[in-house]
């Protein structure tokens, strides 16, 4: 079944993660995404590994499904001419070059809008397009450090990055939101506009309560491991055969949870969230003494029956084998041109009344060059007729 963005054409000049993740989302939603890659090498992530499977990078496979690939040398006259033809046919262009690169290739914003006034342009950078460090290059891990995320992640005193490219993924999500807003605006104005975001902006924009701890209370947040900095009990706890997570985020939950672990909910030491947070170590010790009397599975069953949020800590393989993950369409099978049938992480959005769509594998480098060029020629012939 076609997605809600059926008929939308996206020219994807991006590479690595943030831009490709954004265009993959648009492709999941039904847009036609034409990925423009450098001949011979293509997207850098094609060479990122291990792991490789029969020479194919699993990193590249993670954010390029449902796209077509065309190989173009944008520094050549022929490549620039094809890009101009693509721009004329496109609704959206996505790029994450360093500031000024697209201008030097002969495609500043002014020219792009001369070619196609309705074009929506998403531009993603590491640290922003202007300011004292505008144009500075940045990868995800660097942005996590510079934007404060590492300082509030991991065990106390041990700055740690998140175990996936979270700055890139956040930037992709913000970019998609900006694109959709600009497309909606275009319905009124008839013109496209430029949407800008960065890894820095996307992490700072996700600071939430950690940001206001400083901006309002002038309290510098620090990492507290798996505990919540403001709420207790909320984190990981040891039981007889392992570790589980428990989240007691309000007084109603506390009154249900406390008797389960032998505590009086009205004990003045723990009666309210501020008192529990202030005595977190004592509270954790009291809880773990009770949890040590039974297994993780038994406690999870009890907590679920009481309506207390709790969960296991799954490894990645366990997540993809979990029936709940598969029931939500979060694993999709595609037929890769060289690997055959493979499974990929699936899209996080679903629409009521829509059958699950068929997905296509991340393309080989230049796999669709001839078909895309033929499509351009057909459309140009029709317009000239």
159-180 tens-digit pLDDT: 999 999 999 999 999 999 999 9
| Domain co-membership, 190 together with 47 | yes
- Does residue 217 fall inside a structural domain? no
Residue 40 exposed, middle or buried by CB count within 10 Å (0-12, 13-18, 19+): exposed
Q: Is the pTM of this model over 0.85?
A: yes
- Nearest alpha-carbon partner for 65 in 324, 337, 316, 354: 337
How many C-beta atoms surround the C-beta of residue 153 within 10 A? 18
Angstrom distances, CA of residue 110 to CA of 101, 288, 334, 348:
14, 63, 39, 35
Residues noted as catalytic: 168
pLDDT, tens only, 18-58: 999 999 999 999 999 999 999 999 999 999 999 999 999 99
**End residue of a domain, out of 257, 283, 314:** 314
| Domain co-membership, 166 together with 275 | no
**End residue of a domain, out of 286, 314, 342:** 314
Q: Are 304 and 20 in contact (CB under 8 A)?
A: no
- Does residue 212 fall inside a structural domain? no
If you average pLDDT over residues 341-352, what whole number do you get? 94
3-state SS, 334-348, equals EEECCCEEEEEECCC
Domain that holds residue 310: 234-314
Using CA atoms, how far apart are residues 257 and 87, in angstroms rounded to an integer?
59
- Does residue 378 fall inside a structural domain? yes
| Domain co-membership, 100 together with 200 | yes
Q: Tell me, what CATH number does 359's domain have? A: 3.40.50.10540
pLDDT, tens only, 58-117: 999 999 999 999 999 999 999 999 999 999 999 999 999 999 999 999 999 999 999 999
Q: Tell me, what CATH number does 300's domain have? A: 3.30.1540.10
Using CA atoms, how far apart are residues 227 and 363, in angstroms rounded to an integer?
42
Query: What domain count does the chain have?
Result: 2
| Domain co-membership, 239 together with 342 | no
Q: Which long-range contacts (CB under 8 A, 24 or more apart) does 212-220 make?
A: none
């Amino acid at each position: 079944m076609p997605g809600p963005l059926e008929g939308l054409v996206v020219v994807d000049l991006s590479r690595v993660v943030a831009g490709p993740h954004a265009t993959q989302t648009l492709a999941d939603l039904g847009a036609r995404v034409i990925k423009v890659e450098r001949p011979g090498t293509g997207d850098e992530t094609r060479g990122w590994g291990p792991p490789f499977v029969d020479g194919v990078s699993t990193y590249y496979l993670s954010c390029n499904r449902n796209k077509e690939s065309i190989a173009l040398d944008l520094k050549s006259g022929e490549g620039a001419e094809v890009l101009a033809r693509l721009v004329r046919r496109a609704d959206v262009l996505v790029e994450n070059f360093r500031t000024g690169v697209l201008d030097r290739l002969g495609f500043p914003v002014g020219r792009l809008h001369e070619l196609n006034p309705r074009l929506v342009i998403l531009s993603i950078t590491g640290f922003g397009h202007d300011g004292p460090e505008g144009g500075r290059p940045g990868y995800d891990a660097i942005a996590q450090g510079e934007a404060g995320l590492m300082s509030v992640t991991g065990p106390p005193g041990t700055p740690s990055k998140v175990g996936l490219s979270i700055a890139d993924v956040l930037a992709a999500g913000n970019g998609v939101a900006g694109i959709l807003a600009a497309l909606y605006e275009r319905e009124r104005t008839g013109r496209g506009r430029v949407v800008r975001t960065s890894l820095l902006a996307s992490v700072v924009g996700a600071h939430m309560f950690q940001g206001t701890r400083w901006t309002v209370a002038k309290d510098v947040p620090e990492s507290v491991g798996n505990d919540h900095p403001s709420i207790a009990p909320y984190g990981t706890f040891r039981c007889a055969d392992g570790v589980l997570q428990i989240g007691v985020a309000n007084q109603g939950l506390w009154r249900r949870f406390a008797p389960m672990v032998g505590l009086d909910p009205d004990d003045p030491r723990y009666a309210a969230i501020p008192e529990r947070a202030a005595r977190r170590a004592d509270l954790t010790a009291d809880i773990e003494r009770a949890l040590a009397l039974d297994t993780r599975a038994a406690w999870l069953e009890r907590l679920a029956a009481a309506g207390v949020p709790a969960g296991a800590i799954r490894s990645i393989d366990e997540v993809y084998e979990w029936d709940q993950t598969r029931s939500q369409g979060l694993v999709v099978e595609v037929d890769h041109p060289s690997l055959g049938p493979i499974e990929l992480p699936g899209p996080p959005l679903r629409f009521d009344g829509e059958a699950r769509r068929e997905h296509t594998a991340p393309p080989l480098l230049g796999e669709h060059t001839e078909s895309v060029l033929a499509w351009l020629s057909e459309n140009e012939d029709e317009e000239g007729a």
